[in-house]
Amino acid sequence: MPDRGGFASFYGPVLGVAVFLVLRDVLSTLTDHWLLLYGVLFMGIILFLPEGILGLVQRVRSPRAFHDTEAAEAARRGADPAAAEPPGERRPSP
């Protein structure tokens, strides 16, 4: 079950096991098709949260800083945003 909580720390797999055991118990009391929901949830976490549940918690607690691009900075100054791009990546004008 380390893939459910993340491999980065000791607490990641512990959290993953705890969450999935609680979900198994809750889903099994709500519906007879709990195993299907459990499997879909498991696949969703593997596909969309490769860093695990603990990685999601850490990402929510400390969001990424905003990085301004050179094109946005040039537009703010009133310069041509295409001039801020490297020569090989210049887009054609409309």
Domain extents in the chain: 2-61
Q: For residue 73, is pLDDT > 80? A: no
Per-residue pLDDT at 8: 59
| pTM listed for this prediction | 0.50
> What is the rounded average pLDDT of the residues 54-72?
73
Q: Is-contact 90 82, C-beta < 8 A?
A: yes
pLDDT tens-digit series, residues 8-32: 577 878 888 888 899 889 988 998 8
Q: How confident is the model at residue 3 (pLDDT cuts 50, 70, 90)?
A: very low
Per-residue pLDDT at 22: 92
User: In a 10 Å sphere around its CB, with 0-12 CB exposed, 13-18 middle and 19+ buried, how is residue 37 labelled?
Assistant: middle
Integer Cα distance of 26 and 15 in angstroms: 16
